[in-house]
């Protein structure tokens, strides 16, 4: 349980879980790299009022997973390598919001043994269906301004 903190300028790379949060609130995550993790973030439903802004998420199996349907945290201006949107007005911000929690990550969180199906046709089909009809993933976990290119934190 951590509250009222800032996590700025870190790299979380090649971990099973980059950050596991339970009962944490009012933490600002900014200018961080989440690379090649199993789960970049495991954000439990007991966490609220956390802000994830201007971070890079690249090469993670799952960007975010959660154990609840209501997640009261904010995603803003992050780069997501799995984002498949477009930028028609060339402002370097995606024109379509990004939902980083996919249906398969919700299933794995509830039934850990289902991780055996990773990279199967069924999982690909589930994730494609969820993009068309997003009903089983938390509505609140949306980045309304995903970046089209990764940040260079140099």
- The residue ranking higher by pLDDT, 59 or 126, is 59
Residue 132 has pLDDT above 80, yes or no: no
In the prediction, which pLDDT does 41 show?
A: 96
Torsion angle defined by CA atoms of residues 8, 72, 129 and 13, in that order, rounded to the nearest 10 degrees: 20
Residue 153 has pLDDT above 90, yes or no: no
In the prediction, which pLDDT does 70 show?
A: 64
pLDDT tens profile 38-54: 999 999 888 999 999 99
pLDDT tens profile 52-107: 999 999 999 999 988 876 678 999 999 999 999 999 999 999 999 999 988 777 77
Neighbouring CB atoms inside 10 A of 65's CB total 24
Strand order in the sheet with 79-80: 11-13, 33-35, 56-58, 79-80
Residue percentage of the chain with pLDDT more than 70 = 95
Domain ranges for the chain: 3-101
Q: Which residues contact 59 (CB under 8 A, 6 or more apart)?
A: 35, 36, 37, 81
Q: Is the pTM of this model over 0.85?
A: yes
């Amino acid at each position: 349980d951590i509250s009222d903190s800032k996590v700025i300028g870190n790299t979380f790379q090649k971990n099973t879980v980059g950050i596991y949060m339970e009962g944490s609130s009012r933490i600002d995550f900014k200018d961080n790299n989440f690379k090649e993790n199993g789960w970049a973030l495991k954000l439990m439903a007991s966490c609220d009022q956390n802000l994830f802004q201007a971070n890079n998420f690249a090469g993670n199996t799952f960007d975010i997973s959660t154990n609840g349907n209501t997640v009261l945290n904010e995603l803003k201006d992050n780069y997501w390598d799995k984002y498949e949107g477009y930028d028609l007005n060339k402002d370097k911000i995606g024109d379509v919001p990004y939902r980083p929690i996919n249906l398969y990550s919700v299933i794995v969180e509830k039934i850990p043994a289902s991780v055996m199906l990773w990279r199967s046709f069924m999982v690909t089909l589930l994730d494609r269906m969820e993009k068309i009809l997003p009903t089983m993933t938390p509505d609140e976990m949306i980045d309304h301004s995903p970046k089209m290119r990764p940040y260079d934190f140099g």
